[in-house]
Amino acid sequence: MCGIFGYANWNVSRSVREVLEMLMGGLQKVEYRGYDSAGLCIDSNIGQADDGSNTAVPAPCPCVIRCTGNIQQLRDKVFSEAVEAILPPMDAMTSNHIGIAHTRWATHGEVCERNCHPQQSNHGEFSIVHNGIVTNYITLKGFLKEEGYTYKSETDTEVICVLAEYLYTKRGIHDFVELVMEVSNLVEGAYAMLIRSIYFPNEMVACRKGSPLLVGVRQMDDQGRLVKLHTFDSPDPEKPLEVFFASDSNSFAEYTSNVVYLEDDDVLHAHDGRLRFYSAAERKHSTVKREVRYLETKLENLSKGNYPHFMLKEIYEQTESVISSMRGRIDFNSGKVKLGGFTEKNIRAILTSRRIIFISCGTSLNSCTAVRPLYEELVPLPISVENASDFVDREPQILRDDACFFISQSGETADSLMALKLCRDAGALCVGITNVVGSSISRLTDFGAHLNAGVEVGVASTKAYTSQVVVMALVALLLCEDSVQVQERRREIVRGFAEISTKIAAALKTTHDPVKVLAAKLKENHSLIVLGRGYDWATAMEAALKVKELSYVHTEGINCGELKHGPLALIDESMTVLVCCAKDRFFDRSKAAVQQVAARKGSVVVFTTELDAELSSLAQDIIVLPKTVDCLQCIVNVIPFQLLAYYMALLRGNNVDCPRNLAKSVTVQ
């Protein structure tokens, strides 16, 4: 799980400092994808007579700067006196240049400078930034060692660099595109790569297989306005052109709205202002066309505004993000629900299916668990929820008349994509619900819905979770719109939707201060338990996930009914148990769990929607939440747990937006 960024300028004059700032600025926007190390690569001959005018090969080896740590540490190193001495002069100008950069979350090799990207072949002939995993790298590495090549790092990426050099030198493949296609043919696994070489100055090849890679194009007209492109062969190579290569469109959203999403096996050759697509799968040296989409990203979503951290901003944005998820989709007066991808034909296809299967990972898996009871109540089909990782391992039987829903904030989750392939191969109906337009899941499913939650930067998901519950609940209402038996229940839920934003705002207002106090009490705990049942079993699991992600305190989410079947042995006077105990039809059973914990002298914190005398006598702390319809109560109930995780992390001195060892978009298995 890494972040890739590349910047190319043709007929656009940029100084070395501007190129470096562009690369590091782009990396900053994809830092959430990995932040244990970073690096970049630019030409070493900028400002010299042959910085583009001389096409003789090979060109001088490029400058590669790498470091462990985050982008700020890379910036400090790049502009240090020692490194500036080996770079071209900062004020040197170039009008034709390609730079690549990378932020890493280690999968192969420890976190150290030699394992940082860009990786290079033995003498710097090929430089590569790479996101993904090469599954056959040990075999390739052994073969290349026998051919006399050596290795400096422990990464699978260096193997790709050396393989490229072998193909050029010993196999005589001297066409850049053909060479990369052969690399793609020999390398197994999922990856996105940017490749540059001293043998091909002022050229770069980008390729994708299983990991996200996007390209943004910026070309201005004579009046200085952005030219809106429609196909990728439309840029005029004689005019000024800037091209951005990235794992995420956020990294170039401030510069251009023209974006193309690379498809699996795509190979993009960038040379002298010309951009040509090829397909490695077809193995033909003929170009293919790719549609240019128009990107709509609000730049204010990419800044923290007045908040100290993205996560806190995103917690408070939930009052608006749930409205955005509902906007134009539900009529609160008539109860009608309309979702663009869910046409009458598609709704009928779902309702005539044998069963509905929700498949996802992490927070998205918890959101699926949260809506499962609602689907079982409203939709006349068997409903199941699958962990995508386990699903891929088991390869259960999927039939053509199954409806498989894939839920993912990024739309690029590797395990979910593998599960999607299994379901597509079986001929099942595939439905995608993501927060990223143009993501792999949104493109590979038959139809689906966009969350409209806005950009989520914090690694720990907050507003995407609540929007997932909202959108999936809307789909449930849509699927039962013609069912006479559930009309009164539908009206009750519609009324709940109408007030959900107000309830979230009230929860933020009333629970913020007591939760902050609670976080101070719990910050030194070594272990916590969160209990819930019914709709709040998912809340308990999501709460536990948030606390462990951010505070690094072991936290387990358990169904109240499971307490007696083992976990009760963990309870003593040193254990704190957080209990979701909303005043719903499960209230008495949830209260019984509180009684059991209190009887073992455990410390109890209750989150409820209504004060209760017995609960007050048993609990050390009680946090009261606004009440709404039971199936949407989980949206309100998760708010204080998000705040708790945030403040515990803050008090423990942790990086709230970028917790250790985690990445926002899990694009590798």
Look at residues 431, 463, 482 and tell me which one is the last residue of a structural domain: 482
The rounded distance, in Å, linking the Cα atoms of 58 and 51 is 12
For residue 267, give the H/E element and its range. strand 266-271
For residues 547, 549, 550, 551, the Cα torsion angle rounded to the nearest 10 degrees is 60
Q: Residue 343: pLDDT above 80?
A: yes
Lowest mean pLDDT among 285-289, 303-307, 599-603: 285-289
The rounded distance, in Å, linking the Cα atoms of 459 and 662 is 7
For position 61, what pLDDT does the model report?
84
For position 54, what pLDDT does the model report?
47
Give the residues across from 102 on adjacent strands: 4, 39
Q: Kindly report, residue by residue over 119-172, the tens digit of the pLDDT.
A: 999 999 999 999 888 889 899 999 999 999 999 998 899 999 999 999 999 999
Q: Residue 295: pLDDT above 90?
A: no
Q: Kindly report, residue by residue over 463-486, the tens digit of the pLDDT.
A: 999 999 999 999 999 999 999 999
**Within this chain, do residues 477 and 517 fall inside the same structural domain, yes or no?**
no
Q: Residue 608: pLDDT above 80?
A: yes
- Report CA torsion sign: 385, 389, 390, 395: positive
Cβ-Cβ contacts under 8 Å for 357 (sequence gap 6 or more):
384, 385, 386, 398, 402, 403, 404, 405
**Within this chain, do residues 122 and 234 fall inside the same structural domain, yes or no?**
yes
Q: Kindly report, residue by residue over 17-69, the tens digit of the pLDDT.
A: 999 999 999 988 877 666 788 999 999 888 775 444 444 457 788 899 999 88
For position 440, what pLDDT does the model report?
87
For position 49, what pLDDT does the model report?
55
Give the residues across from 4 on adjacent strands: 102
For position 1, what pLDDT does the model report?
59
- The answer to whether residue 496 sits within a structural domain is no
Cβ-Cβ contacts under 8 Å for 53 (sequence gap 6 or more):
none
The rounded distance, in Å, linking the Cα atoms of 397 and 414 is 20
398-422: average pLDDT:
94
415 band by pLDDT with thresholds 50, 70 and 90:
very high
For position 56, what pLDDT does the model report?
47
For position 662, what pLDDT does the model report?
75
Nearest to 471 by CA among 413, 408, 397, 383: 408
Measured in degrees and rounded to the nearest 5, phi and psi for residue 320 equal -95, -35
For position 219, what pLDDT does the model report?
85
Nearest to 451 by CA among 322, 286, 306, 320: 322
- The answer to whether residue 336 sits within a structural domain is yes
Burial class of residue 416, CB neighbours in 10 A (0-12, 13-18, 19+): buried
Give the distance from CA 179 to its chain's centroid. Answer: 31
Q: Kindly report, residue by residue over 195-230, the tens digit of the pLDDT.
A: 999 999 989 999 998 888 999 998 877 777 777 776
498-515: average pLDDT:
97
Q: In what order do the strands lie in the sheet with 527-532?
A: 554-559, 527-532, 576-580, 603-608, 621-624
Cis-peptide, bond into residue 58, ω within 30° of zero: yes
562-570: average pLDDT:
91
**Within this chain, do residues 247 and 201 fall inside the same structural domain, yes or no?**
yes
The rounded distance, in Å, linking the Cα atoms of 262 and 268 is 8
For position 27, what pLDDT does the model report?
87
Tokens of 372: 């499962």
Q: Residue 629: pLDDT above 90?
A: yes
**Within this chain, do residues 353 and 379 fall inside the same structural domain, yes or no?**
yes
Quote the pTM value: 0.83
Does residue 9 contact residue 52 with C-beta atoms inside 8 Å? no
The rounded distance, in Å, linking the Cα atoms of 73 and 59 is 29
- The answer to whether residue 376 sits within a structural domain is yes
For position 664, what pLDDT does the model report?
58
81 band by pLDDT with thresholds 50, 70 and 90:
confident
Can you give the length of the chain in residues? 669
For position 380, what pLDDT does the model report?
94
Higher-pLDDT residue of 587 and 297 is: 587
Domain count, the chain: 3
109-123: average pLDDT:
86
Does residue 29 contact residue 21 with C-beta atoms inside 8 Å? no
The pairing of beta strand 383-387 with beta strand 355-360: parallel
**Within this chain, do residues 18 and 107 fall inside the same structural domain, yes or no?**
yes
Look at residues 297, 319, 337 and tell me which one is the last residue of a structural domain: 297
Question: What does the mean pLDDT of the chain come to?
Answer: 90
Does residue 463 contact residue 314 with C-beta atoms inside 8 Å? yes
For position 53, what pLDDT does the model report?
45
The rounded distance, in Å, linking the Cα atoms of 561 and 590 is 8
Higher-pLDDT residue of 429 and 669 is: 429
**Within this chain, do residues 320 and 377 fall inside the same structural domain, yes or no?**
yes
Does residue 473 contact residue 505 with C-beta atoms inside 8 Å? no
- The answer to whether residue 391 sits within a structural domain is yes
For position 665, what pLDDT does the model report?
57
Host domain of residue 427: 305-482
Look at residues 464, 482, 500 and tell me which one is the last residue of a structural domain: 482
- The answer to whether residue 261 sits within a structural domain is yes
113 band by pLDDT with thresholds 50, 70 and 90:
confident
Does residue 30 contact residue 3 with C-beta atoms inside 8 Å? yes
What CATH number does the domain containing 180 carry? 3.60.20.10
**Within this chain, do residues 405 and 549 fall inside the same structural domain, yes or no?**
no
Return the residue matching tokens 């039987």: 397
**CA angle 122-127-129, nearest 5°?**
125
**Within this chain, do residues 312 and 293 fall inside the same structural domain, yes or no?**
no
581-605: average pLDDT:
90
Q: Kindly report, residue by residue over 84-102, the tens digit of the pLDDT.
A: 888 999 999 999 899 999 9
**Within this chain, do residues 85 and 229 fall inside the same structural domain, yes or no?**
yes
The rounded distance, in Å, linking the Cα atoms of 151 and 142 is 11
What CATH number does the domain containing 639 carry? 3.40.50.10490
Tokens of 70: 């985050």
Active-site residue, selected from the candidate residues 2, 41, 430, 658 = 2
- Report CA torsion sign: 409, 412, 413, 415: positive
- The answer to whether residue 178 sits within a structural domain is yes
241-255: average pLDDT:
88
**Within this chain, do residues 267 and 310 fall inside the same structural domain, yes or no?**
no
Does the active-site annotation cover 2? Answer: yes
Cβ-Cβ contacts under 8 Å for 285 (sequence gap 6 or more):
175, 177, 178, 278
Cβ-Cβ contacts under 8 Å for 247 (sequence gap 6 or more):
2, 3, 4, 5, 30, 33, 131, 192, 211, 212, 213, 214, 665, 667
Q: Residue 669: pLDDT above 60?
A: no
For position 220, what pLDDT does the model report?
78
**Within this chain, do residues 338 and 288 fall inside the same structural domain, yes or no?**
no
The rounded distance, in Å, linking the Cα atoms of 455 and 310 is 10
567-576: average pLDDT:
92
- The answer to whether residue 337 sits within a structural domain is yes
Tokens of 423: 């379901």
Which of 508-515's residues contact partners 24+ apart within 8 Å by CB, and which partners? 508/315, 508/316, 508/318, 508/319, 508/639, 508/643, 510/624, 510/625, 510/626, 511/623, 511/625, 511/639, 511/640, 511/643, 512/643, 514/621, 514/623, 515/623, 515/640, 515/643, 515/644, 515/647
For position 29, what pLDDT does the model report?
81
- The answer to whether residue 611 sits within a structural domain is yes
The rounded distance, in Å, linking the Cα atoms of 304 and 657 is 11
The rounded distance, in Å, linking the Cα atoms of 647 and 366 is 22
Does residue 356 contact residue 382 with C-beta atoms inside 8 Å? yes
**Within this chain, do residues 116 and 192 fall inside the same structural domain, yes or no?**
yes
Give the residues across from 267 on adjacent strands: 207, 278
